[in-house]
Chains A and B, each alone.
Chain A
């Protein structure tokens, strides 16, 4: 890993790690949060998708939504980590994207919002 020693303001020496790995985790978490919202919303609009997501009958479509969410989140995390492993990225842009995705996750899991379209 690309590391260096850099003094910080309170006089201690801490290892400076590129922000890429952290940015990858943050953006992937945003993607994961949005994924459950998108799947919840889309399956409410589409009975066909709801059927496809029924991976395990006792749980119904929620089994597919949660499984796909975990896969999307982990794949995004792995992919972004590989790309940004040693990079210093524009953290502000990553932050904005992650927080917007988090907001999408909250909005699209809120049933009264679905019922505006169903």
Chain B
């Protein structure tokens, strides 16, 4: 059982950072709604507020790690240009997709959208975390502010969903390959 360094980084970007960020949304959205809903029962304890703050900060870190690893580590492998004369494009995902009309739109629409829309998420989520931590339960006094916080949190979720879904499809049609081989486990082949 082996994996290449490029595979490993792609998994870390998509599953380690991106998917974990997506998974964290359900908890964050419920909690943000709970503290900001009008007529919500008791005030959150200081410990609860600290925990929510830490949770949101962790989400912000995951969001930034996802976009930075995607843009500055994975993307250069994706857009690598094959040397003159190379006909096997398996190691050059962008060129591989563009080489056929059946797959070119996965790049022209899918990758182009993914690489830009994903950046909405960390910007939006940083604001959500900042406002939530700064105002805490007092956000109940600012109706329009909590509308924005919830709207931007949902927008971050949608943006991440778009980027993640296209990432999964792109990795199916033109996976990132290459790098050094890491042997995880040695089996007994027949």
A residues apposed to B, CB below 8 Å: 6, 8-10, 12, 14-17, 19, 21-23, 25-26, 28-29, 32-33, 36-37, 40, 56, 58-60, 62-63, 65-66, 69, 73, 91-92, 94-95, 98-99, 102, 105-106, 109-112
| Interface pair A111/B109, CB less than 8 Å apart | yes
Is B57 part of the binding interface, using a Cβ–Cβ cutoff of 8 Å?
no
Q: 5 other contacts beyond A21-B134, A56-B72, with CB at 8 A cut-off?
A: A62-B71, A69-B123, A91-B145, A102-B151, A106-B155
Say what secondary structure dominates the interface of chain B: helix
> Interface size of B by Cβ–Cβ distance < 8 Å?
45
A26 interface neighbour in B113, B119, B145, Cβ under 8 Å: B145
| Interface pair A95/B147, CB less than 8 Å apart | yes
| Interface pair A36/B131, CB less than 8 Å apart | no
| Interface pair B116/A95, CB less than 8 Å apart | no
What are 26 A-B pairs at a CB distance below 8 A?
A8-B138, A8-B140, A9-B39, A14-B137, A16-B141, A17-B135, A17-B138, A22-B134, A22-B142, A23-B145, A25-B134, A26-B131, A26-B152, A36-B119, A62-B71, A66-B71, A66-B119, A69-B123, A91-B143, A102-B124, A102-B152, A109-B113, A109-B120, A110-B117, A111-B109, A111-B112
